Structure 1
Amino acid sequence: MEVLSFTERMFVKTMFRDRMADLNGLAFEDFFIRIMTARYADFVEVRTHGSIGDLSSDGLRLHDGKLYACYAPETFDADSARDVKKKFTGDLTGALAKRAGEFQTFVFVYNDPRRGLHPEITQLLAQARRGHAPLAFETLGPRQLLGELFRLVKYQIEEVFGAPIPVEDVVYGVGLEDLKPLLDHLVERRRQTNGQQSPREVSALKMDYNQLDEDDREMLRRGMLHTHLVEENYQGLTDVTERDEVAADFNAYYRGIATVYSTAADVVYELEKYVAGNRHLDRASARALSVVLAYFFETCDILAEPPTGWTPPAREPALT
């Protein structure tokens, strides 16, 4: 069966982000159920039915013993945190009463791609783990849901979105007109800083050191083919300090999110959102985004540099 090419995966990632930005409540539950139904043959969606309700779940994997409950408020503030805590407690209590013996893992599914789990919810999950052993508890957020989506084949993903995935283009060009909106956005976001080191070339070890996954590596490799356009843009400006100010701001933002997110994939995801702002990314803009990220990656403004003398860990030899 047909799997996605790299460019198709990047397009699907953009489609997913655009869709998630508008999903809450029942719309998010429907989207979640479409992905999980396509992904797992043993997934059973649970719909509200008359007086018995939904039996305190939105889906159940019969063979894996996982019960899924979706929590997708439109906004997440103090009031919605209280509502989610109330619903979580009610769903868990109801599931234990109505579905005893049917599940071994309670999965908390949430929709916020920006902030992750609210601290009050993580505390609630920790309390539930202690109070309901040996029952297991897991979370499933937007990044994990995207991972489930990427395990589908092409026609299934098209069915989930109700739209085709364009198949053209492996070789592409990027022009300054494509880069300018993203560069302008960075200028708007820049802040004054206290002296930054001058940019310099980086070694190929940087991708290994940051443990980037293959999608992000390929995105940066392709972007690096056109990073000279970013340099041309800055060389043509009257304000010779603009590049360094933008880079310093970008670096400061990177350092901030690097303390919050534990994986390189999450950090790259947040950097992409920082560059793109709230604009919709068509295919040309998505390619331009990869060029901007690659430029600041090359010049050591984002992601960590390997220490002097660092070498990648030896890989396990292939089995013969």
Structure 2
Amino acid sequence: MLAQLTLRQQLTDMPGEGFEQLIHHLLSLRHPDFVPVRTHGNLGDMGADGLLLWDRVLWACYSPQTDDIGRVKRKFGSDLDKALAKRPGAFDTFRFAVNDLKGVHPELSVMMSEAQEKLRPRRVEHYGWHRLWNDVMRLDRIATEELLGRELPVQDRTYGIGLSDLETLLARLGEQRRTSEPLAVLPEVNKYKIEWNGLTGDVRGALIQGIGHSHLVERYYAGLGAPDEADRVAQGFRVYYDQVRADTDDQDKLWAALQEYILGNAAPSLNSMYCAWIVIAHFFQRCDVFDVPPDGWVPGTEDRSAA
């Protein structure tokens, strides 16, 4: 789980060159027949970022972390045309890796369909987050640490978290709380809050795991003998969330920012990361972070954007 979260965070803002290097590194670890192709002078890369010799797969890499879909489409078309012109007998599959955790842009998907018709009997394949992660999961621990550039601590008691594990983090939050207007009356927790905020995948899983232990945070504040301490810390947490939210609506980035607010920017241990999830879950349940659905809203009965 730590490896997955680390990889997702790295991919979030990874530029094109970095993404291509990551794919080269991963495929070199996974496939002995992988040939990473570099550009050379006027030749360029001859329409290929990499080749699997035995399976006759030509790789092209894209990092479309941009609103300029026209640029991405031009690169796709250019690489495909160059591959057909300069490597016509070298591949049976044109596989492109896309650094977009949410999926493929609709216009690019249309180009994929058109390219598939153009290439028959060759195949066009999309290589996105799920296939990338599946390949990472097939690496051994040493290779995974090499790919991610960090140690992956393995502990016997993954879920053995107690109040003592949380005390240091909660005390730190008390020290870094921010000043702002007093907290408004908190709305009641809505059972559809997760669905309303569109929390899916890893973020949803981390939040649900944190909720299972969030009672420990309540116990901590109950034992302090300072009735307003929880609200004062929540105030700082909400202010920080609002600042991040002003810059992005991406739930993965919001979650990563909240986790960094709690843990700092140092690489967390597995135990401290779980503790951060518990703290975020506590403030989620208090309705200090993420949006509360309108009264009466039920998933599937009304378009979220129209509410």
For the criterion TM > 0.5, the same-fold answer is yes
Q: 1:38 aligns with which of 9, 23, 29?
A: 29
Q: What residue in structure 1 maps to residue 151 of structure 2?
A: 164
CA distance in 2, matches of 1:125, 1:230: 51
**Identical-residue share of aligned pairs (%):** 29
1:237/1:141 Cα in 2 relative to 1: closer, same or farther (>3 Å)?
farther
Q: 1:121 aligns with which of 108, 113, 116?
A: 108
Deviation string, structure 1 residues 175-227 (Cα, Å, up to 9, x no partner)? 155358899xxx9xxxxxxx977567xxxxxxxxx9989x9869855762454
Aligned amino acid, residue 107 of structure 1: R
Q: What residue in structure 2 maps to residue 282 of structure 1?
A: 268
Structure 2 counterparts to residues 263-274 of structure 1, below 5 A: 272-273=255-256
1:182/1:72 Cα in 2 relative to 1: closer, same or farther (>3 Å)?
farther
Aligned amino acid, residue 98 of structure 1: K
Q: What residue in structure 2 maps to residue 130 of structure 1?
A: 117
1:23 match: secondary structure? coil
1:43/1:237 Cα in 2 relative to 1: closer, same or farther (>3 Å)?
farther
Contact 1:175 1:229 in 2 (8 A): yes
- Once the two structures are TM-superposed, the CA of residue 238 in structure 1 deviates from its matched residue by 8.3
Structure 2 counterparts to residues 1-320 of structure 1, below 5 A: 9-10=1-2, 12-72=3-63, 75-78=65-68, 81-113=69-101, 115-167=102-154, 170=157, 171-172=160-161, 174-178=165-169, 220-221=208-209, 224-230=212-218, 236-237=227-228, 272-273=255-256, 275-276=258-259, 280=265, 282-283=268-269, 285-292=272-279
1:37/1:223 Cα in 2 relative to 1: closer, same or farther (>3 Å)?
farther
Structure 1 unaligned segments of length 5 or more: list them: 1-8, 188-194, 201-209, 261-266, 303-320
Q: What residue in structure 1 maps to residue 304 of structure 2?
A: none
- Once the two structures are TM-superposed, the CA of residue 61 in structure 1 deviates from its matched residue by 1.9
Greater RCO between the two (CA within 8 Å, min separation 6)? 1
1:239/1:44 Cα in 2 relative to 1: closer, same or farther (>3 Å)?
closer
Deviation string, structure 1 residues 64-114 (Cα, Å, up to 9, x no partner)? 3322111125x4023xx222211111110111222223322222212234x
Deviation string, structure 1 residues 6-39 (Cα, Å, up to 9, x no partner)? xxx42x2343234334531322211111011111
Structure 2 unaligned segments of length 5 or more: list them: 179-185, 192-198, 291-307
Work out the number of aligned pairs and report it: 267
Q: Give TM-score, length-normalised by structure 1.
A: 0.60
Q: Give TM-score, length-normalised by structure 2.
A: 0.62
1:219/1:197 Cα in 2 relative to 1: closer, same or farther (>3 Å)?
closer
Deviation string, structure 1 residues 222-258 (Cα, Å, up to 9, x no partner)? 7624543157659955898x99xx8xx9xxx9xxx9x
- Once the two structures are TM-superposed, the CA of residue 285 in structure 1 deviates from its matched residue by 5.0
CA distance in 2, matches of 1:136, 1:293: 44
Contact 1:276 1:289 in 2 (8 A): yes
CA distance in 2, matches of 1:30, 1:212: 26
Contact 1:182 1:289 in 2 (8 A): no
Aligned amino acid, residue 99 of structure 2: N
Contact 1:179 1:230 in 2 (8 A): no
1:174 match: secondary structure? helix
Contact 1:224 1:295 in 2 (8 A): no
1:68 match: secondary structure? strand
Deviates more, 1:58-67 or 1:287-296: 287-296
